[in-house]
Every structure is written in C-alpha cells, then in structure tokens.
Amino acid sequence: MSKQDDDTPGTGHPADDGGSIFDRAKHPVKPSGEPAGGGADARTRGPELKQGRDDGSERLGTPPHQTDSTRAPATVLLAEAGERGVEVRPPHAEEIDRRAERRAERLVAFWFIVSVVGTVGFIVTNFVGDKQAEYYTPCMGGALAMAMGGIGFGIILWAKRLMPHEEAVQERHPFASPAEEIAATEETVALGYADTGLARRPLVRRTLLGAGTVLGGLLVVPLLNLTNSKPGKQLDHTRWVSGARLVTGEGNLVKLGDMAIGGIETVFPAVPVTEANGTVRYEPKVTLHDKADSATVLIRLAPGENHPRPGREDWAYAGHVAYSKICTHAGCPVSLYEAQTHHLLCPCHQSVFNVLDGCRAIFGPASRSLPQLAIDVDKDGYFIARHDYTEPVGPAFWERS
C-alpha cells in the first residue's frame, strides 16, 4: 500500500479518526484535511513557516492571526526586519551546535534531579527527623529550597537554551471561536510542542516528569501532618514535670527570696540530668521546645493578696504564683505586668488577665484564663514545679479543632 493510501481519511490515522487534541497535535492537519506539515520536529518545517536569509541565519516571523476569522487559519505571515517591531535575533549556540545542545540537556536534567532529591529529603526529614533538634528546621528549609529551586532553574534553563526565541503579536479576539480557529489552535499547539523539543529529548522529558511527580509529594505532607493529631492535643503536655526546677532564660535557677514583691520573671523547666550514681541534677539549659510551650511567668504578690480557686490552695508558695505566658487568644507572649492593679497584659491584642483571680480574662478577645502551674520549694530553697499544667496551654480555639 502506498504512503498516500495510508494518509487517506478513515484509515486509522489519529488525525483522520478525530482523536483527542493531543493526538491531533502529534499529527496536525489543516481545516481542509491536508497535512499541516508542522510535524513533531520544528526543524522540518516548510518554507511557509520559516524563511531563510541569504547569509543562512534564521529570520523570525509573526504567527497567524488565529482569532481573526477573516484570515485563513493555516496562513503564516512572515515579518521583515523592523516590521511590527519584530526583532530579528541570531540563533543561540544550542541551535547550531549539537554538543552545546547535549550539555544544555544534561544541565537541565541535573536541576530536575536536584528537585527530586530535595523533595525526598523534605519528606524523609518531616517523618523521620527529630522535630526538637536544631537541625530540623534548617534541613526542612534547605530541602524545600532544593525541591522548588531545582525545578525552577531547570525550567528556566530549558526555556532559555533549548527552546527557540520568538516574538509574536496577537490581536484581541472575540470570546467564541469558530471551528476554523480551533483547528488553527491545534496546529499551533503541535508547533509549540515541537518547539519544546520534548519529543527529541527523552532525558529532559523523563527527568521533568519525575521531578514534577515527586514534587507533588509536598502537597501531601501537610495533609498527613494534620491527620496525625489535632493542634490542641500537642499542648496538652509540656516539659514541666514533677520536681523540675524553675530556671530563667539566662540559665539562672530561681531561689526563694530572689524576687521582690511585685516582681515578675519568665521561667522555664530546667533539664534533669541523671548522674552515674543515680542522682538527678538539673541542668540550667533552656531548649527551643521549652520556650515554645513551657514559657511561664513567676510573680510575687504581697502576703494575703492571692485568692486561689477552690482546690488550688497549695499551688502557690509564699505569695509566688506561676501562670502560662502563652495568651489564650492567639498565642502571643503575655509579658506586661502592672503591679498596682495586678493585671497581666498581652501586647498583641490587649487582652487583660487578673492575677489575683486566677489570671481570669477580664478584657480583650481572650476568653479563657491563663493556665496555672503549681509550684513549691525543694530542700535547697529552689522553686520547683509540683506537676505539669492540668489544662492545655495556648489559644483556646485549638480546643475546638
């Protein structure tokens, strides 16, 4: 059977059988049914698509006015130098040097592989890494930068070094498109696909597909993190344990008598360290996790000023009371204390808590009292925690999540 017989309508050719737009893009035809001549390779375009100069260099032209129904949809208008402001540019090295083209392909593929490594590293660090370690956040950020930056650099280099540089002017068009214009669009899609060079460059095509597929894993990680536990559950327990000494941010243990009446101090739980002989000492070292959920304000009141709630009569010691520093509205640090009125103020949204009444919220958007930490003094005179908070710390809306 001759080649002419194979291309006749109804013989199974994708373009003749009315396949999808992608099938027609691979085998474009004109509205009349004739082959468009664009092919999958931009280098095989006929003289109706490109026009050579006398010196052999390529001359850029404007594409057909696809949305102007007065023009033939398959007509390509070539613009002379200077016409309609079209700039004639010399071809880049990858268009005339096969070795340069191969180097560019490998460079693009390298960045796509970097994106794959970054995405895998992000997922592995999220599920395997220690979230309280100092390396966790930098590793997560570096892996995310590799994942996004790798695919970004790869696409930029692909467009700059492996795709032809053309400038085109397209006029405004009506919203509805006739069938002839749809056919012209399909032809343009086919030519654009040929310009990308994906059909001729399997290395770039495969690495791009791999990078894009793996990059989708970044969308799944936050969803999996949310399904593990609701945010409020993570603050049901803090680093405060029975017997943990109170230590300042500078690493100084707080001893009875160190604070004056009306004084306030931000304290954290000291890290317990077990010696070889079995004794436990408390290392005055404040970790990042301690600052995040265990920050506490220690306030000394005058004798007889504190009015504890029922069941909490022994939670204070010698006029010293301790409350969570995390505001129950949005999690800001409650750090402003007015000794005359005994009010704690959150500087973010001006929520006010009454220290003499169990740090009850009396003004502002906060709707819940600050959780109280039961404190005591050990045999050496240092303040210690009797136990952890008995209610979740932090914003109240997390309890409804």
Q: Judge if 212 and 325 occupy the same domain.
A: no
Q: Judge if 69 and 149 occupy the same domain.
A: yes
CB 198 within 8 A of CB 205: yes
pLDDT at residue 42, rounded to an integer:
43
pLDDT at residue 287, rounded to an integer:
58
The answer to whether position 233 is within a domain reads: no
Among 23, 45, 394, 126, smallest CA distance to 234 is for 394
The answer to whether position 2 is within a domain reads: no
Chosen domain end from 228, 255, 280: 228
Q: Judge if 170 and 110 occupy the same domain.
A: yes
Q: Judge if 167 and 297 occupy the same domain.
A: no
Q: Judge if 204 and 305 occupy the same domain.
A: no
The answer to whether position 3 is within a domain reads: no
Q: Judge if 194 and 271 occupy the same domain.
A: no
Burial of 332 (0-12, 13-18, 19+ CB in 10 A): middle
Distance, CA of 243 to CA of 246 (rounded, Å)? 9
Q: The domain that contains 329 carries what CATH number? A: 2.102.10.10
Among 95, 72, 73, 371, smallest CA distance to 240 is for 371
Q: Judge if 253 and 218 occupy the same domain.
A: no
pTM: 0.45
Distance, CA of 370 to CA of 344 (rounded, Å)? 10
Q: Judge if 214 and 252 occupy the same domain.
A: no
Domain count, the chain: 2
The answer to whether position 237 is within a domain reads: no
Chosen domain end from 228, 260, 285: 228
Q: Judge if 322 and 378 occupy the same domain.
A: yes
The answer to whether position 241 is within a domain reads: no
Chosen domain end from 228, 258, 291: 228
The answer to whether position 326 is within a domain reads: yes
Q: Judge if 355 and 294 occupy the same domain.
A: yes
CB 260 within 8 A of CB 302: no
The answer to whether position 339 is within a domain reads: yes
User: What is the residue range of 49's domain?
Assistant: 14-228
The answer to whether position 316 is within a domain reads: yes
Q: How confident is the prediction along the chain (401 residues), in pLDDT tens digits per residue? A: 444 444 444 444 444 444 555 555 555 555 555 665 544 444 444 444 444 444 544 444 444 544 444 444 433 444 444 455 555 567 778 878 888 889 999 999 999 999 999 999 999 998 888 877 888 889 999 999 999 999 999 999 998 888 877 666 767 766 777 888 888 888 998 888 888 888 888 888 889 888 888 888 777 777 776 655 555 445 567 778 888 888 887 878 898 888 888 899 989 888 677 777 877 766 666 555 556 778 899 999 988 888 888 888 889 888 899 999 989 888 888 878 888 888 999 988 889 999 988 888 998 888 888 999 999 998 888 998 888 888 888 887 655 54
Burial of 23 (0-12, 13-18, 19+ CB in 10 A): middle
Burial readout 259-273 (b: 16 or more C-beta within 10 A, e: otherwise): beeeeebebbbbbee
Amino acid present at 10: G
Token pair for residue 250?
A: 């500078």
- DSSP letters spanning 40-58: S-GGG--TTT-EE-TTS-E
Burial readout 176-206 (b: 16 or more C-beta within 10 A, e: otherwise): eeeebbebbbbbbbbbebbebbbebbeebee
pLDDT at residue 41, rounded to an integer:
45
Q: Judge if 71 and 182 occupy the same domain.
A: yes
Amino acid present at 124: V
Q: Judge if 196 and 319 occupy the same domain.
A: no
